[in-house]
């Protein structure tokens, strides 16, 4: 009997991982865990009809509770967010419990906290396989760069371009993730070294083709600037640029930032201490679906990704370019399911902390 525990598997992205896991017979039992077990049961009953599925209650930050939940699991898959707040303690509990692990962590701050020599040593000593960031971005998109590297003698620059519609299914963690990684100092790789850009400093226009067309994209802090150098250390320049669609949303976010409403610095308002970003997130979370505030009809498919990889082959300049369209949910959730299955089947030989491509 093969068993997987999927933390946050009833969320907007995690449901696609569950869908993919049910399409094959690698796991005999799939435990979907969250804080609200009744809500999880309701969602699973509405979406699926499988005896393999069971709902469980857990507080992922309660070490004893999580340890008890995963004690009989072969693999732990983590779909909870925001990762910058939850990934590190979850991984510590998983390592202490001696379990293999995979997530689609897309927060660079989480990656930087997770990959420590002490944690790496502990995972290796226990023979564990801990895969961090196996979704789309990061995940399959950086793997495309690894593929391109085999076609070139050297890679000089990689730029990821992402366009995401506000009509994509999203959980509450998505807003927090966007604020955390779009605002402030944005990590990039310039001339082979880590550097930073200020929010919206690197704004350019990029043509995604129809139905998006030419839209403004701005640098976003994303794990590729951390993970790709671990796989391909000689890349000189790496950046990730994002467009929120419709473009009025991106312009609104830029205005909020310029006016200080996305700041995390506390301020006094009528004798009360408040954090501007917390207020903004609360209001955005309660507002009418944001795309409906604008006249634009949302495009189908809902999201787009492009990669431009510049390098050399036999002394000649090479441009390797990809452009794709689709939905963020399956693009994120399906790779995690594949990774979990490979772990359960023993097809991943390397042990320790790893990113896709290592």
CATH code: domain of residue 254: 3.30.360.10
Q: Both 319 and 336 in a single domain?
A: no
Q: Both 241 and 196 in a single domain?
A: yes
Q: What is the pLDDT along the chain (358 residues), one digit of tens a residue?
A: 799 999 999 988 899 999 999 998 899 999 999 999 999 999 999 999 999 999 999 999 999 999 999 999 999 999 998 898 999 999 999 999 999 999 999 999 899 999 999 999 999 999 999 999 999 999 999 999 999 999 999 999 999 999 887 766 654 455 666 777 777 889 999 999 999 998 888 789 999 988 788 999 999 889 999 999 999 999 999 999 998 877 777 788 888 888 888 888 899 989 999 998 888 888 876 654 444 444 455 445 478 999 999 999 999 999 999 999 888 889 999 999 999 999 999 999 999 999 998 8
Q: What are phi and psi of 131, to 5 degrees?
A: -100, 120
DSSP-derived 3-state class of residue 189: strand
pTM exceeds 0.85: yes
Please state the domain count of the chain: 2
CATH number for the domain harbouring residue 74? 3.40.50.720
Contact in structure between 317 and 155 (CB atoms under 8 Å): no
Question: Count H helices, E strands: the chain?
Answer: 12, 17
Q: Both 251 and 102 in a single domain?
A: no
Q: Both 98 and 220 in a single domain?
A: no
Dihedral sign, Cα of residue 48, residue 53, residue 58, residue 60: negative
The angle subtended at Cα 238 by Cα 233 and Cα 241, nearest 5°, is 155
Q: Both 229 and 197 in a single domain?
A: yes
Task: Give the span between the Cα atoms of 192 and 181, in whole angstroms.
Answer: 21
Contact in structure between 110 and 333 (CB atoms under 8 Å): no
Q: Both 117 and 213 in a single domain?
A: no
Q: Both 35 and 181 in a single domain?
A: no
Of 84, 91, 79, which Cα lies nearest the Cα of 17?
79
Q: Both 168 and 105 in a single domain?
A: no
DSSP-derived 3-state class of residue 311: strand
Q: Both 126 and 195 in a single domain?
A: no
Q: What are phi and psi of 227, to 5 degrees?
A: -80, -40
Q: Both 156 and 130 in a single domain?
A: no
Q: Which residues contact 112 (CB under 8 A, 6 or more apart)?
A: 226
Q: Both 228 and 288 in a single domain?
A: yes
- Residue 337 lies in domain: 3-135+330-354
Residues paired with residue 198 on neighbouring β-strands, in sequence order: 185
Contact in structure between 142 and 228 (CB atoms under 8 Å): yes
Residues paired with residue 237 on neighbouring β-strands, in sequence order: 157
**Count of Cβ atoms closer than 10 Å to residue 85 Cβ:** 16
Q: Both 59 and 197 in a single domain?
A: no
């Amino acid at each position: 009997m093969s068993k997987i525990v999927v933390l946050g598997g009833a969320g907007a992205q995690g449901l696609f991982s569950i869908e993919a896991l049910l399409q094959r017979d690698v796991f005999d039992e799939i435990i979907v865990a969250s804080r609200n077990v009744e809500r999880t049961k309701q969602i699973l009953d509405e979406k699926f009809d499988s005896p393999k599925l069971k709902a469980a209650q857990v507080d992922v930050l309660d070490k004893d509770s999580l340890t008890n939940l995963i004690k009989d699991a072969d693999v732990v898959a983590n779909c909870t967010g925001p990762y910058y707040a939850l990934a590190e303690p979850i991984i510590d509990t998983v390592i202490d419990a001696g379990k293999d692990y995979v997530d689609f962590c897309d927060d660079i701050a989480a990656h930087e906290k997770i990959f420590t020599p002490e944690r790496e040593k502990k995972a290796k000593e226990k023979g564990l396989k801990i895969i961090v960031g196996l979704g789309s971005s990061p995940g399959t998109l950086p793997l495309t760069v690894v593929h391109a590297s085999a076609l070139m003698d050297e890679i000089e620059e990689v730029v990821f371009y992402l366009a995401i519609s506000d009509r994509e299914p999203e959980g509450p963690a998505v807003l927090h993730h966007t604020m955390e990684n779009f605002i402030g100092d944005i990590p990039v790789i310039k001339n082979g070294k880590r550097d930073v850009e200020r929010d919206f400093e690197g704004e350019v226009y990029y043509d995604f083709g129809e139905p998006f067309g030419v839209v403004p994209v701005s640098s976003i802090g994303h794990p590729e600037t951390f993970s790709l150098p671990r796989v391909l250390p000689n890349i000189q320049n790496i950046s990730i640029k994002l467009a929120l669609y419709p473009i009025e949303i991106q312009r609104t976010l830029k205005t909020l930032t310029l006016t200080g409403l996305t700041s995390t610095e506390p301020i006094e308002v009528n004798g009360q201490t408040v954090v501007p970003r917390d207020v903004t997130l609360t209001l955005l979370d309660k507002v009418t679906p944001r795309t409906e505030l604008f006249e634009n009809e949302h495009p189908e498919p809902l999201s787009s990704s492009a990669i431009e990889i510049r390098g050399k082959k036999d002394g000649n300049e090479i441009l390797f370019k990809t452009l794709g369209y689709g939905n963020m949910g399956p693009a994120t959730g399906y790779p995690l399911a594949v990774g979990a299955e490979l772990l359960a089947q023993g097809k991943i030989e390397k042990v320790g902390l790893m990113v896709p491509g290592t």
